[in-house]
Amino acid sequence: MTVAATPTTVTTTAPTPKRGLRLTPAALIWPALLYLITTTQVPFFMTVYYSFFRYNLVEPDNRPFVGLANYANLLTNPENFRIVVNTLVLALGTLLLTLIIGGAMALLLNRDFPGRALLRTVMISSFLVMPIVTAVIWKNMLLNPVSGFFSWVTLRLGLQPVDFLAQYPMGSVIAMITWEWMPFAMLILLTGLQSLPDDQLEAARLDGASPLQEFQHIVLPHWSQAIQVVVLMETIALLQVYGEIYGSTSGGPGLATTNLPYFIYQKAFAEYNIGLASAAGVLTVVLTNILAVYLLRFMSRSKSSLGG
């Protein structure tokens, strides 16, 4: 005897939504945005604010509003114009040398030879040295006219030692910072070179292209994006060079190696002129953006002319 199963009706109810705080992805991003705004934009706008006042820490209670007088002082003083020129010469000279030497070293390290890994490690090491240590090494161990390495070389060659920091201050500072920043350019360009397919070079060689033609028509267009990265990053960094100048020449002799960051340091912490130092800081930010945009546009035009 079989018993028919009685059909049962199952009633399903929707689960009760959990009550509590529900955060959207946009809300989760806001803490990071607030942190970035607080740590980057608030100090900048405070610098802009102080640049409109004649504010000296010697008289903290006397802070009259002077409008654009601090900017006019910076732009009309001939000595300040020389400081702007020094900043541009230092940044552009170092950028050009790091690109040339870094590119040559990247081409060398892209080839197989014994000791390549060791040489690459040794060449990167200078980028890890702190700026003030770089200045001490170059000032006391390399450029010292009495006990420095270059003085020893010139004496061995029968020549008179040269006081490089006194006779060629800007060239010495550029050489110092080039030694420090060349590995950065070399690494970026080497990474770009290693992404170049070998079959393109082999096809060019089969077509009879010379090494110079390979470099001009294949390597250089392929390097365009890597060069843009180097130009952008180094321009921003080189316009802010301070430790190397402080530790080697202190901006001298005279104003020979004084750039905008060292000028800001002198005005803010030696003369306590916060208003003028703030105006110089704002001009430095504006100059950095203008120079970076101009160099990137120049690189884009060069890339178009090369057919990249």
Query: What value does the mean pLDDT of the chain take?
Result: 85
Residue 26 maps to a domain: no
Q: Is the dihedral of CA 212, 216, 218, 223 positive or negative?
A: positive
pLDDT digits (tens, 9 = 90+) for 156-215: 898 888 898 999 999 999 999 999 999 999 999 998 888 888 888 888 888 888 888 888
Residue 121 maps to a domain: yes
List all residues 6 or more positions away from 283 whose beta carbon is below 8 Å from its beta carbon: 71, 74, 260
Residue 291 maps to a domain: yes
What pLDDT sits at residue 306?
56
CB-CB contact of 123 with 134 (8 Å): no
Instruction: Summarize the confidence of residues 125-131 as an average pLDDT.
Output: 89
**CA dihedral in degrees (206, 209, 213, 215; nearest 10)?**
30
> Could you count the other beta carbons within 10 Å of the beta carbon of residue 242?
15
What pLDDT sits at residue 100?
94
Determine the Cα–Cα distance for residues 222 and 110; give it in Å rounded to an integer. 15
Residue 247 maps to a domain: yes
Q: Is 264 exposed, middle or buried (0-12, 13-18, 19+ CB in 10 A)?
A: buried
Residue 277 maps to a domain: yes
Query: What range defines the domain where residue 288 resides?
Result: 86-305
More confident residue, 301 or 48: 48
Determine the Cα–Cα distance for residues 59 and 40; give it in Å rounded to an integer. 28
> Could you count the other beta carbons within 10 Å of the beta carbon of residue 182?
24
Q: Tell me, what amino acid is at 224? A: S
Residue 99 maps to a domain: yes
pTM of this structure: 0.79
Here the CATH number for the domain that contains residue 171 is 1.10.3720.10
Instruction: Summarize the confidence of residues 13-27 as an average pLDDT.
Output: 67
Residue 59: pLDDT band (50, 70, 90) is: confident
> Could you count the other beta carbons within 10 Å of the beta carbon of residue 18?
6
Residue 17: pLDDT band (50, 70, 90) is: low
Residue 101: pLDDT band (50, 70, 90) is: very high
Residue 43 maps to a domain: no
Total domains, the chain: 1
Residue 12 maps to a domain: no
Using DSSP's 3-state secondary structure scheme, residue 54 falls into coil
What pLDDT sits at residue 48?
92
The winner for highest mean pLDDT among 24-28, 154-158, 215-219, 291-295 is 154-158
Q: Is the dihedral of CA 77, 82, 83, 84 positive or negative?
A: positive
